[in-house]
Amino acid sequence: MINAVGSPQSLLLLGGTSEIGLAIAENYASQAGSGSLAVTLAARPSERLDAAAERLRAAGATVRTLAFDARDLDSHPKVVAEAFADGDVDVTVLAFGLLGDAEQAWQEHAAGVELAQVNFTAPVSLGIALAERLRAQGHGSVIALSSVAGERVRRSNFVYGATKAGFDGFFLGLGEALRPEGINVTVVRPGFVRTKMTEGMKAAPMATTPEKVAEIAVAAVRHRRELVWAPGQWRLVMSVLRHIPRPIFRKLPI
C-alpha cells in the first residue's frame, strides 16, 4: 500500500535490467527510505539481472528476482501471480522491449515477428494478467514505457513504430477500463534516451537520460496522469508532426 507520505511500498519491474526501469525504482527507493521499498525484478536470469539487484539494494530497496521471458506468453499469468504472491504491488513498470534493425524488421520474417511479439503481444498478455490482480487488490498504478515513435509511424522505423502505436492504444484503453476501480495507468513516451540500447547511435534532438525519464514518470503517477512525454517538449513536436500531410511528411529527414 501507499505509505503515509504518499510513497509506494512495493514495485514490480517487468524488464528488470532496463535502465529506465531501474532509474524509476531508484527514484521511488529514495522517497521511501532505506528498506521501505520492496522491488521485484522480473527478467531472464543473467549477470545483468544480478547487477541490477545489487544496484537497487545499494539504493536502499529490498530486492528479489523473478525469472521472466517476454517471448514465453504462456508463462505470463504465472509470472504475475508469483510477483503478487507476497502481497499487494503498488506500482508495476513495463520496461522491456526491442529496438531491432529497422530494415531487417520488414524484410526478414523472423525479425519482424519477434519485434511484434516482444513489443506488443507480450505487453498485452501481461496487461491482461496484471489487470486481474490489480482489480482484486483494489488499487495500484502501472507505468507503461512506450516511445514517441508510436505517435506517428515513420518510414525509417515503421515496424518498431507500429508496435509502439499498438502498445499505446492498448494501455491507454486499459487505463480507461481500470479507472473506475481506482487503478491508474500512465503511458510514458520518451524520445531518444541515452542507454545501452542506443549506444553508438547518433543522438536525436532533445536526447535525455534514464534519470530524467524516471522523474517525469514518477511525477505523472503522483498526479494520476494518463499520458506524458519525456521531455515534455515532445508533446508539441508530435502535435505538429501528426498534422503534416503524408506527401510532405514522407519527404522529411526523420
The pLDDT tens digits along the chain (254 residues) read: 555 345 899 999 999 999 999 999 999 999 877 668 999 999 999 999 999 999 999 999 999 999 999 999 999 999 999 999 999 999 999 999 999 999 999 999 999 999 999 999 999 999 999 999 999 999 999 999 999 988 888 898 999 999 999 999 999 999 999 999 999 999 999 988 877 776 666 666 778 899 999 999 999 999 999 999 988 888 888 888 787 888 887 877 77
Q: Is residue 147 part of a domain?
A: yes
Q: Is residue 57 part of a domain?
A: yes
| Residues assigned a catalytic role | 160
Q: Is residue 111 part of a domain?
A: yes
Total domain count for the chain? 1
pTM of the model: 0.91
Q: Is residue 4 part of a domain?
A: no
Q: Is residue 63 part of a domain?
A: yes
Q: Is residue 194 part of a domain?
A: yes
Can you tell me the distance from the alpha carbon of 106 to that of 158, in angstroms, rounded to the nearest whole number? Answer: 8
Q: Is residue 80 part of a domain?
A: yes
The answer to whether the CB of 124 falls within 8 A of the CB of 142 is no
CATH number, residue 104: 3.40.50.720
Q: What is the residue range of 228's domain?
A: 10-249
Joined together, the cell numbers standing for residue 112 give: 519482424
The answer to whether the CB of 188 falls within 8 A of the CB of 213 is yes
Q: Is residue 25 part of a domain?
A: yes
